[in-house]
Chain A
């Protein structure tokens, strides 16, 4: 199904659309993430950013268009299949496994790649023990990288807000993705925390050779970290380009500040 361009891109989104009744929530959304990309998706409230994420990750099924992850077509697949294809995400309204421990949350991500079935689990076979050990090691490393290793035994719901966001990223990384979608990772953080988080996101990108797409409201932040930005408004892509182009784009200014009088 894929062509030459699709093979070089980690994520290739072409003209994806979805309608809810009469409302066109996202219209012909296109995006291409090469390896190592750190792109931003911005737009006023209700522009369709999170809907776009949900379309890519299979939470919603697109009405039209196609999505490729590492050259494999994934639109129409179930969310868990898309996760296996190498697309991981975090959520705007944090979705951790609240009753589980911090470590277990990351193990949940890690176990996607080190798998074994029910008989092995109940009989505690050698393969099972080995896989479980690998999952454990992988999860602890990621907690280390995200700087929350000291809280591994706590219940996830008891973590402070910023750490919950970090934990969500750790859990997503544990699935060993190629593409990481971050939905407002810095929401609710103070400027210093935001700065640290952005450093961390850059580090993750370099270390794991990921392509990252993030939604963020803090303009200064997006402009300083993202190499390329796509702007949505009312489901339409009104602009795409590097930060300085976006800042100068009259359509973007209009979308954020209203029409000039």
Chain B
């Protein structure tokens, strides 16, 4: 018994016994928690202020869409890659987030400013470079950021509703349910009422926000949304997405997700509540899909559910598979490549999509496990050594 006690003591999870590991103050995690975010903000700023002006309008559009695709691909990696569940309705969550944010910013602008023009600061200025005179941040940016997060939350809530019943079951039910969900979202959004316009200002002001949420333009799509999402905002969210995904993967929490992918029965045998983890991974993934949808809608100033059908879902899925199921850096690289490829292939003219498909097929034959498999880019450059606590 004494030996057990000693062993237990040695194995105890407490690290505060040894003097060099004195209890640090409660706020000491703050630099550790937010330092990567600071780096991400700086990088996003550099991309916006220095890189974007240098690459022109076409290039910066590509940069933007690559960023949005990175968020979509990496968020789907959490479900399809880490947890091993097969979701093929990611565009549905994107549409929900996009429409939510669009409606909030559009109708919100009317309610607050009386019009739907741009009220942001310099970091949100999507117009001609140099044509802006004003502060770095404006009050409209607050509306925009709030709308983006709200879009994510609505998508996450939908993810919870979809995931809770379908993730209890083993097998491919999730694929079927998410496919159906994506289509339902598309059809419902296409069946919404006519969008209220500038001349309905009094009506917009007198109608509560929730009642405005069904006036989303129907099959014509939602248009005339003031554009706020710039390279800066998109890459700030890319940074958040990457930090979340990488931290998740290299933690007990992420290992629990990976264990579900590897073997559900064994995962349960070591105490993992597999349904709970699957649902949480799904909700987290949906949140970021919703954010990506919001960034997308508020970049081009319009959103149409017809373009966010299962074909869009499959594009995202292809990025995840091409990058390697479970690899964050792989999904990121694949998102960049697949965004740029159709443009790079313009020189083959009308054979563009044929070449694109051929390249995908060749890729899957040569490297069926994807670019990086389950590993990360940085694992390939150094001897694979499992990471310690932090």
Question: How far is it, in angstroms, between the C-alpha of A130 and the C-alpha of B23 when the chains are bound?
Answer: 10
B210 lies within 8 A of chain A by Cβ: no
Q: Could you tell me the distance between the alpha carbons of A47 and B105 in the complex, rounded to whole angstroms?
A: 67
Asked if B390 and A124 sit within 8 Å, CB to CB, the answer is yes
With contacts A99-B258, A124-B33, A133-B15 taken as known, whether A118 is within 8 angstroms of B280 at the C-beta atoms is yes
Q: Chain B's nearest CB lies how many Å from the CB of A129? A: 5
Question: How many interface residues does chain A have, given as a range?
Answer: 35 or more
**Please, which residues of chain A bring their CB within 8 A of the CB of B270?**
83, 88, 108-109, 112, 171-172, 174-175
| A residues 107-144 touching B (CB-CB < 8 Å) | 107-109, 111-118, 121-126, 128-138, 141
Segment among B5-13, B114-122, B187-195, B309-317 that sits at the interface with chain A: B5-13
On whether A95 and B265 interact (CB within 8 A), knowing A101-B386, A122-B247, A124-B33, the answer reads yes
Is A29 an interface residue, CB under 8 A from the partner? no
Closest B residue to A83 by beta carbon equals B271
Residues on the B chain within 8 Å of A98, using CB? 262-263
Interface stretch (choices B24-32, B220-228, B340-348): B24-32
User: 1/0 per residue A78-119: CB within 8 Å of B?
Assistant: 111001100011010001111111011001110111111110
**How far is the CB of A70 from the nearest CB of chain B, in Å?**
15
Give A133 to B387 CA distance when docked, in angstroms: 11
Cβ-neighbour of A121 out of B14, B15, B248 (below 8 A) = B248
Q: Type the 1/0 row for B246-277, where 1 means its CB is closer than 8 Å to any CB of A.
A: 01100111111011011101111111111000
Residue in A closest to B254 when the chains form the complex, CB atoms: A121
B322, chain A: closest CB distance, angstroms: 18
B170 within 8 Å of A by Cβ? no
Given known contacts A124-B33, A126-B24, A207-B7, is B271 in contact with A100 (CB within 8 Å)?
no
Q: Tell me which of B28, B248, B386 has the highest count of chain A C-beta atoms within 10 A of its own C-beta.
A: B386
* Chain A proximity mask over B25-62: 1 for CB below 8 Å, otherwise 0: 01011001100000000000000000000000000000
Q: Which residues of B contact A164 (CB under 8 A)?
A: none
* CB-based nearest A residue for B35: A124
Which residues of B lie under 8 Å from residue A137 when comparing CB positions? 11
Task: Kindly identify which residue among A57, A80, A83, A116 contacts B252, using a CB–CB cutoff of 8 Å.
Answer: A116
A153/B268 contact (C-beta < 8 A), A107-B252, A123-B29, A209-B4 known: no
Partner of B15 from the list A84, A91, A115, A134 (CB cut-off 8 Å) is A134
Report the nearest B residue to A157, measured CB to CB.
B262
B11 to chain A, nearest CB (A): 5
Number of contact residues on B: which range applies?
Answer: 35 or more
Q: With an 8 A cutoff between CB atoms, is B364 at the interface?
A: no
CA distance A113 to B24 in the complex (A): 23
Asked if A59 is at the interface (CB within 8 A of a chain B CB), the reply is yes
- Contact of B200 with A by CB under 8 A: no
Q: Are A153 and B385 in contact (CB under 8 A)?
A: yes
Select which of B13, B262, B265 is within 8 A of A134 by beta carbon: B13
Q: Is A136 a contact partner of B388 (Cβ separation < 8 A)? A: yes
Asked if A80 and B255 make an inter-chain contact with CB atoms under 8 angstroms apart, the answer reads no
For residue B265, which residues in chain A have a CB less than 8 angstroms away from its CB?
Answer: 59, 79, 91, 95
B20 proximal to A (CB < 8 A): no
8 more A-B residue pairs beyond the given contacts A114-B13, A207-B4, with a C-beta to C-beta distance below 8 A: A80-B273, A84-B271, A89-B269, A107-B252, A114-B252, A134-B14, A134-B15, A138-B13
7 pairs of residues in contact across A and B, judged by CB atoms under 8 Å: A80-B272, A97-B259, A104-B386, A108-B255, A113-B13, A129-B390, A134-B14
Nearest 4 A-B pairs (CB), nearest first?
A: A134-B13, A112-B271, A97-B262, A132-B389
